[in-house]
Amino acid sequence: MSLLASLEEALPPAQQSPLSELAGLALGDYLDRHRATAEGPDNIALVLDQFEEILTADPTDQAAKAEFFAQVGAAPRDRQRWALFAMREEYVTGLDPYLRSVPTRLNTTCRLELLGAEAAREAIRRPALQAGTDFSDAAAHKLVNDLRTVRVQRPDGATENALGPHIEPVQLQVVCRRLWDRLPAGDVQISESDVEAVGDVDSALAGYYADQVAATASRAKTYERVIREWFDRKLITEQGMRGQVLHNPKQSQGLNNVAIWSLVDVHLVRAEKRRGATWFELAHDRLIEPVRANNAAWREATLHPLQRQAALWEGQGRSASLLLRDEALKEAEDWLAGHGGELMPAEKAFVAACRAAAERVSLEEQARSAKQLRRFRYLAIGQAVLFGSALILLVVESFISTNALFCVGMLLALAGFACSVWAIVLTVRLSAAQVLERRRAKHVEGDQPFGTD
């Protein structure tokens, strides 16, 4: 059914058959009807690209596969029909159970090699030569070697660069286009120094990555930052190697599948089928450093200091010494009032940790203030008791003696007692003022919330 629907898409809309009608047609009947109505020669060539999908779409549906191959095999028995199957070579042996249904048992094969170093040099030099520019062999050699560099891991676990056998064609196109666009007008020769000065491979690949990430974010209606974080955290390991992400429903490791398949279409991500499951990985090792560098530059230019500090805090084991405090915390609070919805999970955890630390500091300061107030109170009470006792003694003595000195002492004691009472009053007023200040601070914080989850 899907094959017939694909063939129908090549026809003008007015000539297309409804799906209900196609569902009742065999492939041979459809081709007979097409030959009867189409103008031109009777010969028909069917080209089935990505034919491995017949094996990977549903590995368990053996009956449907047998019926499909029976119809596909019957169609070329007509001498005026041919069929070409294009598929990845690792899936060729999976066709063995169905070969009896296909004429020639698919004995006529042609292996299409991946783009090797020599072919890549030809792809660089010939188009330039046709445009009147000599791309020197040394410059082409340097560019090809740069593009086929891969990361390999030694037995001791360390990694190193090595030259791989193949080049990703899209990356070759990206770099050559950038080099050609930046070539000075009138320059008819591209040397090795031109490649070094103008055709910086890292910059070209980083620029292509940045453009495609921005376009994918727009198409998939997601944040550009989410895509960049997915590359950094899921597709590239801490050791600088390519990682893998298992394809899950709706989203895979934090990124929605619409965005992922868009990245596959622009050759930044590769989808691999293994044992009935799809795995996503970076398209080539040569993208690792450009992706990392571009992501770092983008974060530095785009993210708020709070977000960058949160990344540092997360990367260093969530150390308390990296939390925001005082004025930095207040500035972050002001920014979060309008950007709380932009936070990643790790940043929300960082904000919560900063708030908790600030609350602990506030409680500790309140405890110290309370302790100091209690000390003032005890001192004031002690002074009051002391001067009160002196006053009682002086009063008693005044009844016994009429000496004027005792009267003076009594007045001094009264003055001291008054001072003690005034000290108590001041202590109470200080305590009340601190309570009011704390309430006012909480009210201000309530007007400007720290952030939203």
Dump pLDDT digits (tens) for 57-84. Answer: 777 888 888 888 888 888 888 888 888 9
Residue 31 near residue 81 (C-beta atoms within 8 A): yes
Looking at the fold, whether 195 and 212 belong to one and the same domain comes out as no
Looking at the fold, whether 86 and 125 belong to one and the same domain comes out as no
The verdict on residue 340 lying in a domain is no
The verdict on residue 233 lying in a domain is yes
Structure tokens at 411: 């007045």
pLDDT at 27: 84
Query: What one-letter code names the amino acid at 407?
Result: C
pLDDT by 10s per residue, the chain, length 453 = 677 877 777 778 877 888 888 878 888 888 887 777 766 567 888 888 888 888 877 778 888 888 888 888 888 888 888 889 999 888 888 899 998 888 888 888 888 888 999 999 999 999 999 989 999 999 999 999 988 988 888 888 888 889 999 888 888 888 888 888 878 877 888 888 878 776 568 888 898 999 999 999 999 999 898 999 999 989 998 888 889 999 999 999 999 999 999 999 999 999 987 767 889 999 988 899 999 999 999 988 888 888 888 877 877 788 888 888 888 888 888 878 877 777 777 778 888 898 888 888 888 888 888 888 777 777 777 666 666 666 666 665 555 555 555 555 555 566 666 666 666 665 665 565 565 566 555 544 544 443 444
Looking at the fold, whether 290 and 374 belong to one and the same domain comes out as no
Q: Which CATH number does the domain housing residue 295 bear?
A: 1.10.10
Looking at the fold, whether 365 and 276 belong to one and the same domain comes out as no
d(CA 270, CA 261): 9
Q: Is 96 helix (H, G, I), strand (E, B) or coil?
A: helix
Residue 85 near residue 52 (C-beta atoms within 8 A): no
The verdict on residue 92 lying in a domain is yes
pLDDT at 359: 84
pLDDT at 39: 66
The verdict on residue 382 lying in a domain is yes
Phi-psi region at 156: left, alpha or beta (left = phi > 0; alpha = psi -120 to 50): alpha
Structure tokens at 276: 């009935």
Query: Please, is 446 exposed, middle or buried when counting C-beta atoms within 10 Å of its C-beta (0-12, 13-18, 19+)?
Result: exposed
d(CA 177, CA 183): 10
Looking at the fold, whether 98 and 154 belong to one and the same domain comes out as no
The verdict on residue 408 lying in a domain is yes
pLDDT at 40: 56
Looking at the fold, whether 141 and 209 belong to one and the same domain comes out as no
C-alpha distances in Å from residue 316, one per residue of 160, 174, 294, 309, 321: 25, 36, 22, 11, 10
Q: Which of 151, 168, 199 is the last residue of a domain?
A: 199
Query: What one-letter code names the amino acid at 377?
Result: R
Beta carbons within 10 angstroms of residue 221's beta carbon = 9
Looking at the fold, whether 442 and 355 belong to one and the same domain comes out as yes
Looking at the fold, whether 210 and 180 belong to one and the same domain comes out as no
The verdict on residue 318 lying in a domain is no
Q: Which of 59, 86, 106 is the last residue of a domain?
A: 106
d(CA 280, CA 260): 8
Looking at the fold, whether 290 and 220 belong to one and the same domain comes out as yes
Phi-psi region at 250: left, alpha or beta (left = phi > 0; alpha = psi -120 to 50): left
Looking at the fold, whether 269 and 352 belong to one and the same domain comes out as no
Phi-psi region at 44: left, alpha or beta (left = phi > 0; alpha = psi -120 to 50): beta
How many independent structural domains does the chain possess?
4
Task: Tell me which residue has tokens 């899936």.
Answer: 91
For 278, the enclosing helix (H) or strand (E) is: strand 277-282
Looking at the fold, whether 194 and 231 belong to one and the same domain comes out as no
Q: Which of 199, 227, 256 is the last residue of a domain?
A: 199
Q: Quick one: which of 357, 337, 359 has its CA closest to 452?
A: 337
Query: What one-letter code names the amino acid at 286?
Result: R
Dump pLDDT digits (tens) for 230-241. Answer: 999 899 988 888
The verdict on residue 367 lying in a domain is yes
- In sequence order, what E strands does 26-137 have? 44-48, 81-85, 134-135
C-alpha distances in Å from residue 314, one per residue of 62, 93, 328, 443: 49, 47, 18, 31
Dump pLDDT digits (tens) for 116-156. Answer: 999 999 999 999 999 899 999 999 999 999 889 888 888 88
Looking at the fold, whether 275 and 230 belong to one and the same domain comes out as yes
For residue 262, the enclosing domain spans: 205-302
pLDDT at 447: 45
Structure tokens at 355: 């708030």
The verdict on residue 309 lying in a domain is no
Query: What one-letter code names the amino acid at 431?
Result: S
pLDDT at 440: 55
Residue 408 near residue 394 (C-beta atoms within 8 A): no
